[in-house]
């Protein structure tokens, strides 16, 4: 019997929690199959004004919990900082501004996504530093899950806000269209070099052994490449046929997302000339694949 794979589906976390002297977390109240308990929204710092990192997806139920989190820290919001432009991160910006007044919003630009949320951005990039009392965040451009993705080192703790690059449970989805597995692998290597202590992910619980978790993520992706090549050897050709083999132990509801990941792996393996398409089907999802 195989044990159930780790997935965030159905996981519960407290609505508000304090994970360190400098880090208060409030749940975005947007649970889903993929986001598990929802987006972790963070108040970072120790002073009367703190950074709000990723204000969730815009659920109205979130605002009272954000108010409680601010009470707990006896603080106001200094500014909003975003890890990336996916809707469960940027989608909450408008309602926070409507409730608390104009706030600067910092992120690495991804115009196509940013514009759909009508958010005015102050651009930041790799190496940008954001400071508040008790906390210094240093941005690391870590594309792959999303092209605009930033992770942040909290210098005072050498801990890492990993956004969607590393999750508290399970692994992240690399979207086949806007994601890029080669970039993602390079981003994981970059994060490994920082040797972070703890990791504060955008979804799921705090990770105590940060560096070990990054190694695990890298090994997992290499193992997936091998499993996909094996599935092709077994006669699978369509991405969904590969999913049926590689993700046999996972709940079926996760298979469409798994197909995204499989296609991302196939595109990565195609770029490395390890696999090829059997037909001239331009959509990688509909193509039949083989080993080269």
Which residues sit at the interface with Zn ion, rule CB under 5 A?
A: 86, 164
CB of residue 52 to Zn ion, shortest distance in Å: 17
- For 53, the 3-state DSSP assignment is strand
Which CB atom, from 232 or from 263, has the smaller least distance to Zn ion? 263
Judged by phi (left if over 0) then psi (alpha if -120 to 50, else beta), residue 20 lies in beta
Helices and strands in the chain, H and E counts: 8, 14
Rounded CA separation 127/150 (Å)? 10
Which CB atom, from 41 or from 78, has the smaller least distance to Zn ion? 41
CB of residue 23 to Zn ion, shortest distance in Å: 20
Which residues are within 8 A (CB) of 145 and not within 5 positions of it... i.e. 6 or more apart?
84, 163, 164, 165, 172, 173, 174, 175, 179, 184
Which CB atom, from 86 or from 265, has the smaller least distance to Zn ion? 86
- Report which residue's Cβ sits closest to Zn ion: 86
CB of residue 210 to Zn ion, shortest distance in Å: 19
Which CB atom, from 114 or from 164, has the smaller least distance to Zn ion? 164
- For 285, the 3-state DSSP assignment is coil
Which CB atom, from 154 or from 202, has the smaller least distance to Zn ion? 202
CB of residue 149 to Zn ion, shortest distance in Å: 8
Residue 79: both structure tokens together:
């500014």
CB of residue 172 to Zn ion, shortest distance in Å: 8
Nearest to 248 by CA among 232, 223, 231: 231
End-to-end CA, the chain? 34
């Amino acid at each position: 019997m195989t044990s159930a794979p780790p997935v965030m589906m159905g996981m519960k976390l407290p609505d508000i929690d304090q994970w360190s002297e400098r880090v208060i977390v409030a749940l975005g109240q947007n649970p889903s199959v993929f986001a598990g308990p929802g987006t972790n929204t963070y108040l970072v710092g120790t002073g009367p004004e703190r950074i709000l990192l990723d204000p969730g997806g815009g659920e109205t139920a979130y605002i009272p919990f954000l108010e409680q989190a601010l009470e707990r820290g006896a603080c106001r919001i200094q500014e909003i900082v975003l890890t990336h432009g996916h809707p469960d991160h940027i989608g909450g910006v408008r309602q926070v501004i409507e409730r608390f007044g104009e706030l600067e919003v910092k992120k690495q630009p991804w115009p196509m996504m940013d514009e759909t949320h009508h958010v005015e951005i102050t651009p930041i990039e790799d190496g940008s530093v954001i400071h508040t009392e008790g906390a210094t965040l240093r941005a690391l451009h870590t594309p792959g899950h999303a092209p605009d993705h930033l992770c942040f080192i909290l210098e005072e703790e050498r801990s890492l806000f990993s956004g969607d690059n590393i999750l508290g449970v399970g692994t992240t989805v690399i979207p086949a269209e806007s994601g890029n597995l080669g970039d993602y692998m390079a981003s994981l290597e970059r994060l490994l070099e920082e040797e972070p202590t703890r990791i504060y992910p955008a979804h799921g619980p705090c990770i105590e052994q940060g560096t070990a978790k990054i190694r695990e993520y890298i090994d997992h992706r290499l193992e997936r490449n091998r499993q996909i090549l094996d599935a092709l050897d077994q006669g699978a050709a369509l991405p969904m046929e590969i999913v049926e083999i590689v993700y046999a132990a996972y709940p079926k509801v996760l298979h469409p997302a798994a197909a995204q990941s499989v296609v991302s792996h196939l595109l990565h393996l195609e770029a490395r000339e390890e696999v090829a398409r059997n037909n001239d089907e331009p959509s990688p999802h509909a193509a039949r694949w083989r080993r080269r």
